[in-house]
């Protein structure tokens, strides 16, 4: 047993049941992590228990933003972990966010702001994770 808890900050939502969605991101090889699976045909699977922070930055957490933010965060996590090359997949992941929020009824004006936000500020989030591991006590 380990008396020290190791954890990271930054999560607000958690997937309640397994979720699958068709994306336009089609890697050359099947990707499988603890909570995320991405098939070569673009189907993304997110396991129950996966945690993400929802819409980032000054964005408002609305229902028409949740699926897009989940998929976007999962794809960025695959980039952070080295499964997807950000130089190849980041722009496509950002476009997926816009496509999914459009499907969920987000206005074109807001989608344009969302896209500009991730294009301007999302680069560091797609790079290898350098977040601090915290401990308690």
pLDDT at position 57 over 90: no
Which CA distances in Å does 46 have to 20, 21, 63, 74, 86? Answer: 6, 9, 18, 8, 20
> pLDDT value at position 10?
73
Q: What is the pTM of this model?
A: 0.89
Rounded Cα distance between 127 and 121, Å, is: 12
> pLDDT value at position 2?
67
> pLDDT value at position 116?
94
CA dihedral of 71, 72, 75, 77, whole degrees rounded to 10: -110
Return the exposure string of 80-115: e unless at least 16 CB atoms fall within 10 Å of the residue's CB, then b.
beebbebeebbeebbebbbebbeeeebeeeebeebb
pLDDT at position 129 over 80: no
């Amino acid at each position: 047993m380990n008396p020290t808890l190791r954890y990271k900050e930054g999560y607000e939502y958690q997937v309640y049941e397994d979720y699958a969605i068709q994306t336009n991101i089609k890697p050359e090889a099947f990707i499988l992590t603890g909570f995320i699976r991405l098939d070569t045909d673009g189907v993304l699977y997110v396991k129950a228990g996966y945690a993400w922070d929802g819409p980032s930055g000054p964005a408002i957490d609305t229902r028409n933003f949740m699926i897009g933010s989940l998929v976007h965060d999962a794809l960025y996590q695959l980039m952070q972990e080295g499964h997807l090359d950000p130089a190849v997949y980041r722009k496509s992941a950002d476009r997926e966010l816009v496509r999914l929020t459009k499907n969920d009824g987000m206005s074109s004006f807001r989608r344009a702001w969302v896209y500009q936000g991730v294009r301007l500020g999302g680069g560091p989030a797609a790079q290898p994770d350098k977040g601090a591991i915290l401990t308690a006590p």
